[in-house]
Amino acid sequence: MLKKQLFIVFCALASNFQLQAQSLDDIVNKHLEAIGGKQKLSVINSVKMENQMEVMGNEATTTITILNGKGYRTESEIMGSKMIQVINEKGGWVLNPMTGSTEPQDLPEAAAKQAASQLYIIPLLDYVSRGTKLTLDGKESIDGKETFKIKVTNKEGADISMYIDASTYYMTRLVQTAEMMGQTVSSTINYSDFKKTDQGWVVPYLTEIDMGGMIQLKNKLVKIEINPTIDPAVFEKK
């Protein structure tokens, strides 16, 4: 009798796991289809985005350059200073004259690992081949809209939560932890104002970032180039 009961429990657990896996795959596939479809997305190898940024009452221009799987570079002009942060296959580095430093400094290993997912232009495209694991973590309401919460763990061990709108299947929020000034800070990134590019890729034109309540940023996308030629040398520390 006990063996029979254990067998029934095992079958129920296996069935629930299979349903969750099927549901998760369905959500990811619908998300990719909603933002352009796998065929169009798979040919995007590089991107350059120009943004108008508001940070703590100041305005700045920011350029983000990504070479898929190779490098991520953000360059900001604020209060007369140019700040650069790079994530690459080796780790990452930052140049921030506002801290009194005139030479690029290596990012702490933990911070570089947390940011490694930024190397990929379409985070959920071919994620399995990159050693990333997803877990469906239920549903949550964000601003009155139902979303699927997906826990993301990449091969570097970063712990990230993505929120996929249950109606549009756009990713509307991302929550992750990062090291900042010696502290672990939870950052919340909200995405909105989605528009389709000429290539058929749907991207958010408004990104709002809250870094643990300490720093708040608002980025408005003003120009996007898809598949520009990018010299990999821009991701190297000099």
For the residues of 139-160, what is the DSSP string, one character each?
Answer: EEEETTEEEEEEEEE-TT--EE
The Cβ of residue 50 has, within 10 Å, a number of other Cβ atoms equal to 14
Instruction: For residue 73, list its beta bridge partners.
Output: 65, 86
pLDDT at 8 over 60: no
What pTM value is reported for the model?
A: 0.85
pLDDT at 69 over 50: yes
Q: Which pLDDT score is estimated for 57? A: 77
Average pLDDT of the residues of the chain: 86
Model pLDDT for residues 189-211, shown as the tens digit of each residue: 999 999 999 999 999 999 999 87
Q: Show Cβ contacts of residue 139 under 8 Å, excluding neighbours closer than 6 positions.
A: 146, 147, 148, 149, 166
Model pLDDT for residues 17-45, shown as the tens digit of each residue: 444 554 899 999 999 999 999 999 999 99
Query: In terms of pLDDT, which residue wins out, 233 or 100?
Result: 233
The answer to whether 67 and 235 have CB atoms below 8 angstroms apart is: yes
Confidence of residue 233 (pLDDT cuts 50, 70, 90): very high
What 8-state DSSP symbol labels residue 99?
G
Q: Which pLDDT score is estimated for 182? A: 60
The Cβ of residue 64 has, within 10 Å, a number of other Cβ atoms equal to 19
Model pLDDT for residues 173-190, shown as the tens digit of each residue: 999 876 655 666 788 999
Model pLDDT for residues 110-162, shown as the tens digit of each residue: 888 888 889 999 999 999 998 899 999 999 999 999 999 999 988 887 789 99
Q: What is the dihedral of CA 137, 140, 142, 148, to 10 degrees?
A: 50
Instruction: For residue 177, list its beta bridge partners.
Output: 186
> One-letter amino acid identity for 81?
S
SS3 3: helix
Q: Which pLDDT score is estimated for 158? A: 79
Q: Which pLDDT score is estimated for 192? A: 97
pLDDT at 212 over 50: yes
Q: Which pLDDT score is estimated for 180? A: 58
Rounded CA gap, 50 and 52, in Å? 7
Question: Which pair of tokens denotes residue 222?
Answer: 């003003």
pLDDT at 230 over 90: yes
Q: How far does Cα 37 stand from its chain's mean position?
A: 18
Domains of the chain: residue spans and CATH: 2-235 (2.50.20)
Instruction: For residue 152, list its beta bridge partners.
Output: 134, 160
Which helix (H) or strand (E) segment holds residue 183: the answer is strand 183-196
Instruction: For residue 102, list its beta bridge partners.
Output: none
Q: Which pLDDT score is estimated for 186? A: 82
What 8-state DSSP symbol labels residue 14?
H
